[in-house]
Chains A and B, each alone.
Chain A
Amino acid sequence: MPDVIMPRFGSNSGQPTTRRDGIAKVTGTATFAADNQPDRMLHAVYAPATIARGRVTALDTEAALAHPGVVAVYTPWNRPPLAGDPDAKPFMFAFRFEALQSDEVRYSNQPVAFVVAESLEAATEGARLLKPQYEAQPARVGLDGNEPFKPKGDAPFGLPRDFEHGDVAAGHAAADQALDATYETAENYHNAMESHCLVAEWKDGKLELDIPTQAVVLTRGAYAYYFGIAPGDITIRSPYLGGGFGSKAIANGPQILAIMAARELGRPVKLMFRRDQMFGPTGHRGATRQRIRIGIDGDARMTVLDHESLATTSSFDDFIEPAAYASQGLYNAGALRSAFEAVRVDTGTPGPVRAPGEASGSAALESAMDEMAEKAGIDPLDFRLRNYAETEPGTGKPYSSKALRECYAEGAKRFGWEGRPLEPRRMQDADGKLVGWGMGTALFGAPMFAAEARATLLPDGTGLIETAAADMGQGAWTALAQIGAYALGLPLDRVEFRSGHSDLPDGGVAGGSGHTATAGGALHAAGGDAVAKLAGIASADPDSPLFGTGNTGVVARDGWLVAEEDDSRRDSFADIIARNGGAAVVGTGKAARPPEDAARHAMYSHGAVFAEVKVDPELFQVRVTRMVGAFAAGRIINPRLAESQLMGGMIWGISFALHEEALFDKRTGRIVNGDFAGYHIPVNADVTGLEVLTVHEDDPYVNPIGVKGVGEIGISGSVGAIANAIWHATGTRVRRFPIRIEDLLAGA
């Protein structure tokens, strides 16, 4: 990489720019995937299973087909063949799904038939008229619904491996004081505001898809496999996403059926999940039961941190919420152990849900840390500082950067942590509400994936930057455009950013909190390449004031190349191009983390979350009245958007701690609260006094642009902080999430 582009961000990058698409979104002119309405489009609705386990024995297809407007009904008995097997797992991110390959019902709400009609209403009624008959078997739900097993740990995704460092038995034996506590977390279902949807159209054997996806180019491979065509024959348009959170990189059965129906019927087909259908085939966070044992010596230093996790997975595939991973990489325990078990239940296969593992694991770990601090009789923050890891526990690797100490200090100061009484039930407000303060540490990895980008300097002196990235609503396209514009030495308003289309260079996967680092890294490299090429042209141009400077002695700034040594030697992009044939200058770039970098350093974002709750002393209704989160996540490209994402994560923490839970009827295995009236998430009145601080962090190792990620870490730490604050207010330890009024009543 030419060193014209230094990883020093000044001009537009680092600025709190508002979303470039903000006005379009608030005025309703932004077109989402399902807004596309090609001519002759049909509507599809899938009929969900209303039992959790068994077989479909009959479907009244005659009644459905007789309903006016119904065009086709697909069932397990007439479904046309697919090229790929829905029960195969031929590639990464492939999960088994139900596309009517058999009459088997594996969980409630899986598709048992697929109805296509001229209108959404007709398709919906057609699906209702099918009145499926079943041969049902007893459903297995809950953590005790089936025999636990040990995951094999031989696949990269969703199969966590046990981890052990140091002498765990000796660590237990050496403890002066010990905690042994078990925590449970509930099933949480993906519920992005925009439910899963697509519009599929076949043209001359090629597939066009309007679909929100977190991996615009990569997901072509999945559709290519199931339909026996080349990825190059698939065009994906993924405009704005109304949230993804890990659920929109993975193919599901109804979507495959919609594409199939479009092929069979020779007409475009649109499918959009109803809210109740989100409680089935689109992934969820499995429930967990976590046993945490901590031992400490006389100075409250951890001799052992031993974290066992049992998680639910489906009866037919594996995604095991890797909760016990949360105990790796954070505290400096003498010995560390993470161990995993799973139990098969009759639900859809769980999947990655914002902070998979970290959210549920941190909820338990940070609660346990609080309980241990209580036993030791020391302040919970002091306890964490005594066990601060200067190098990564277990591996001994240095951190690429770790400003956690500063997060603790700045967060505590802003919150006013000092003077917090150690004992619970010591604080009340003027209204008599119990007041409690709690805290938790936040931790999330800083991964990078692979991405490519193109940056073009146009003859008129403006820029075009391109990469097929995904904006899930958090403003990724704004932050990425800031990086690309900076790399080109242009102000943001003179750069066009094209994204979200599979014809563009692969922007990688928007997941793992690594999208800005990855797609941004590629844009950064591409911009640098374009500028270096332009500098080469200028340097070889006798008419340029920069003649002879070489391509390393100039910087790009505001549409000009400027000699680094002499500001008066400058040439505008447009002039250089005009004098040299008038052709646009195209740069390309890639980003990926070299394996040796990953081997050398441990890379994480860190944070500290402080929460205040108020609890009614008799009615036990809880309100989170204040939260302060201080996070260190490398370079912050856009403070406004980063803080907004961190805030969103903390609100998810409130949701996890107090609200979200899919309630299963244990007899039928069906979810009884599969809508937003019953499946609670916080409302505005639940979110008050939320504050985010970002702590400065220079990270020369994590990647050339020094970016970590902010997408998921906000949840981590927040859940435990709230639970700990509830204990501090009431004196009741609730070891099950979400914490409910009846749990606190029971402790009264």
Chain B
Amino acid sequence: MNLFDYIRPASLDEALSAWEPGAAWLGGGTNLVDLMKTGAMAPGKVIDVTRLPGLDGIESLPDGSTRIGALVRNSTLAHDPDFAADFPMVAEAILSGASGQLRNAATVGGNLVQRTRCAYFQDPWSPCNRRDPGTGCAAIGGETHNHAVIGWSDRCIATNPSDFAVPLAALDAVVEVAGPSGQREIAMAAFHHLPGDTPETETALAPGELIVAIRLPAGARAFRANSRYLKVRERTSFAFALASCAASLRIEDGTIAEARFALGAVAAKPWRVAEAEAMLTAQPPGAALFSQAAERALQDAAPSGENAWKIDLARRTATRALALAAAGTPARMPALPASTFGEPAHA
């Protein structure tokens, strides 16, 4: 990798003022360091934010919301008993991602700004509008196994690989950021951008802005009894999703009072469709209903290559996730979180 400056600021102010164009924030390093090794990223300055004080707590705020510091490690959050009880599908999503070692290292803030796993993005020798604006998209017409089937453009067909982001989107989480011009909040729905004509602008973060916390609103807790994350993948563990879905229902007297669901691995952001959720409201849970809602969520889907099958798979995944949510949050975290194989099949 290239030579770069490494600094480890002791305060948020120091970190923010150290930023300059071409600098990169370093959290757990589980994605940035890989990309620096391949040469896909070559920051001139790496600002290690892992020692910033006060960003590693999980707290309940007076308004009933839950605030997660950006430096909380993925495993710490998923294994926090209160958090997992309140937001089971968030915990399940985290535990379905990567490996134990990576989850121990990765921060929740970093999770939201991880880059796509599009092979062409990761390979510095391939044209990529997301990495090098204006060079073209090598993925279009290439190997499109893990590419988008909705919300893509003729500039970019990459997907967002995060599991964590999917339930956060479903639960209307809010991202708190700090930057040169102060602090502000970004709704999850607006945090990740679709590629459009500017795939290089992946998130709503302005240059020099840093995630400091993620907040789950008080209302998100209302889904705790009927929440699941389901992730279809090519092996039982340690693989990115082919399709995933975070589904949560608020069921009152056998009727769905409120429904939220978001799809993962199908677009450059977690995919939520208000009309599809609305179809579920005031209805009794049922397989046909779930299938129709899933169909509606993917109404605008179109293959970006030889991946039409992913549309079918995503529809099936959402249908099943809704059914699992309707069946109720499991009393214990499944041994294989978010897997269709709920319990390990040890002989």
Contact = CB atoms under 8 A, between A and B. Distances in A.
Interface string B1-29: 11100000000000000000000000000
A689 B309 CA distance: 31
Contact of A741 (B117, B242, B319): B242
Contact of A742 (B233, B309, B319): B309
Interface stretch (A281-289, A436-444, A569-577, A680-688): A680-688
Contacts of B345: 614, 623, 625-626, 688-689
A666 B232 CA distance: 27
B342 A125 contact: no
A678 B236 contact: no
Contacts of A745: 309, 312-313
Contact of A683 (B1, B236, B240): B236
Contacts of B309: 741-742, 745-746
A741 B234 contact: yes
A665 interface: yes
Nearest to B316: A618
Given A618-B320, A623-B345, A673 B1 contact: no
B46 to A, nearest CB: 14
Interface string A618-645: 1101010110000000000000000000
A684 B2 CA distance: 36
A689 B347 contact: yes
A672 B120 contact: yes
Contacts of A276: 38
Nearest to B142: A665
A672 B313 contact: no
A contact residues, range: 35 or more
Contacts of B310: 742
Contacts of A741: 232, 234, 242, 309, 313
Contact of B344 (A616, A664, A678, A688): A688
A341 interface: no
Interface in A676-701: 677-678, 680, 682-686, 688-689, 691
A124 B239 CA distance: 28
A150 B1 CA distance: 45
Nearest to A690: B347
A658 B234 CA distance: 8
Given A124-B1, A663-B143, A672-B120, A686 B340 contact: no
B125 A125 contact: no
B257 interface: no
Contact of A659 (B38, B235, B312, B316): B235
Contacts of B235: 658-659, 680, 682-683, 685-686
Nearest to B233: A621
A128 interface: yes
Contacts of B319: 618
B101 to A, nearest CB: 12
A429 to B, nearest CB: 9
A121 interface: yes
Chain A contact residues: over half helix, strand or loop, or mixed? loop
A741 B309 CA distance: 9
A50 interface: yes
A124 B237 CA distance: 32
Chain B contact residues: over half helix, strand or loop, or mixed? loop
Interface string B109-148: 0000000010110010100000000000010011101000
A688 B312 contact: no
A581 B228 CA distance: 81
Contact of A619 (B125, B240, B316): B316
Contacts of A742: 309-310, 313
A616 B340 contact: yes
Nearest to B232: A619
Contact of A672 (B38, B142, B316, B346): B142
Nearest to A274: B37
A430 to B, nearest CB: 11
B39 interface: yes
Nearest to A628: B347
A43 B319 CA distance: 54
B337 to A, nearest CB: 11
B347 A626 contact: yes
A431 interface: yes
Interface string A98-135: 00000000000000000000000100110010000000
A503 B138 CA distance: 52
Interface in A560-614: 614
A670 B237 CA distance: 27
Nearest to A681: B235
Interface string B213-247: 00000000000000000001111111110100000
A128 B36 CA distance: 12
B336 interface: yes
Most buried by B among A276, A689, A741: A741
Interface string A50-68: 1000000000000000001
B142 A667 contact: yes
Nearest to A276: B38
Given A667-B142, A680-B239, A121 B347 contact: no
A588 B253 CA distance: 86
A619 B347 contact: no
A121 B141 CA distance: 35
A740 interface: yes
B312 to A, nearest CB: 6
Given A673-B119, A682-B235, A741-B313, A689 B346 contact: yes
Given A616-B340, A621-B340, A680 B143 contact: no
Contacts of B237: 683-686
Interface in B270-310: 309-310
B347 A691 contact: yes
Interface string B313-346: 1001101100000000000000010011110111
A621 B242 CA distance: 10
A678 B119 contact: yes
A663 B147 CA distance: 14
Contacts of B1: 121, 124-125, 128
A15 B36 CA distance: 49
Contacts of B341: 433, 614, 616, 621, 623
A688 B347 contact: yes
B347 A667 contact: no
Contacts of A691: 347
A158 to B, nearest CB: 28
Contact of A685 (B232, B312, B340, B344): B344
A673 B141 CA distance: 16
A673 to B, nearest CB: 6
A619 B143 contact: no
B236 A685 contact: yes
A688 B319 CA distance: 28
Most buried by B among A619, A686, A689, A691: A619
A740 B234 contact: yes
A686 B317 contact: no
A302 B2 CA distance: 64
Contacts of B316: 618-619
Most buried by B among A664, A667, A677: A677
B216 to A, nearest CB: 28
B98 to A, nearest CB: 10
A619 B344 CA distance: 18
B208 to A, nearest CB: 27
26 contacts: A68-B3, A125-B2, A128-B1, A128-B2, A433-B341, A619-B316, A619-B317, A621-B233, A623-B345, A625-B345, A626-B347, A658-B235, A663-B143, A663-B145, A666-B142, A667-B141, A670-B123, A673-B119, A682-B235, A688-B344, A688-B345, A740-B234, A741-B234, A742-B309, A742-B313, A745-B313
| Closest 6 pairs (CB-CB, A-B) | A689-B347, A685-B236, A685-B237, A672-B119, A50-B125, A625-B345
Given A621-B233, A672-B143, A680-B239, 15 more contacts: A125-B1, A276-B38, A614-B345, A616-B340, A658-B235, A659-B235, A667-B142, A672-B123, A677-B117, A683-B236, A683-B238, A689-B347, A740-B234, A742-B309, A746-B309
